[in-house]
Amino acid sequence: MNAQALSAGFFKNFIARPGGAQPFSRESIEKMPRTAGARVFRSVCPYCGVGCGQLIHVREGKIVHIEGDPESPINRGTLCPKGAATYQYVVNPARLTRCLYRRPYSDHWEEVSLDWAMDQIARRIKETRDATFVDRLPDGRVVNHCLAIASLGGATLEVEENYLIKKLLNGGLGILSIENQARI
């Protein structure tokens, strides 16, 4: 490129400002925020009872960004680390989308169908509960519990999922050992 062409390209990227022309690279001029052109929907963080407000940015039917809602009286735009990572849970190429199963004594995971996995879970829960359910203690007190099954939830279980787990496992099946790793 000769000096004249180089100079023309250079000055093309100058932008007139009140204080004088400022140089910008083409990349700087063409850069846009990732939320540019997105529609914003007001929502609530799904993870705990605090109920922080979130803004969901959607472009062409896809979520492109999630952040705290500055107008929410609950969180005033802030989110805890879990709520701030909501986007990564929703849009993540590393998310497992298939059921994996490791057989007893196996050293590897194998892919199984969702139907097979659901059938196994239902079958094993029923067998275990049928074999261990206690309706009365030796002294006659009614307990209706099953101590042979436990449930451990994760931080990204939603409020509704935790409600259903408690209702089904505790109220429905008599399982007492129900825990969740989240501590808020």
Q: Which stretch binds ligand SF4 (CB under 6 A): 55-63, 78-86, 104-112, 137-145?
A: 78-86
Min dist. Cβ of residue 154 to ligand SF4 (A):
13
9 to 48: interface string for ligand SF4, x by CB under 6 A = ------------------------------------x-xx
The token pair at 28 is: 């700087």
Which residues in the chain belong to E strands, given as ranges? 14-15, 22-23, 39-44, 53-59, 62-68, 99-101, 110-112, 134-136, 142-153, 175-180
Q: How far is the CB of 164 from ligand SF4 (least distance, A)?
A: 18
For ligand SF4, the binding residue among 8, 15, 36, 50 (CB under 6 A) is 50
Give Cα 158 to chain centroid, integer Å: 8
Angle at 63 between CA 184 and CA 70, to 5 degrees: 55
Smallest CA-to-CA distance from 144 within 162, 163, 166, 129 is with 129
Nearer to ligand SF4, 38 or 47 (CB): 47
**168 counts as binding ligand SF4 under rule CB under 6 A:** no
Q: Which one among 59, 82, 145, 166 touches ligand SF4, defined by CB under 6 A?
A: 82
Residue 116 main-chain phi, psi, to 5 deg = -65, -45
Q: Given the rule CB under 6 A, which residues bind ligand SF4? A: 45, 47-48, 50-52, 75, 79-80, 82-83, 184
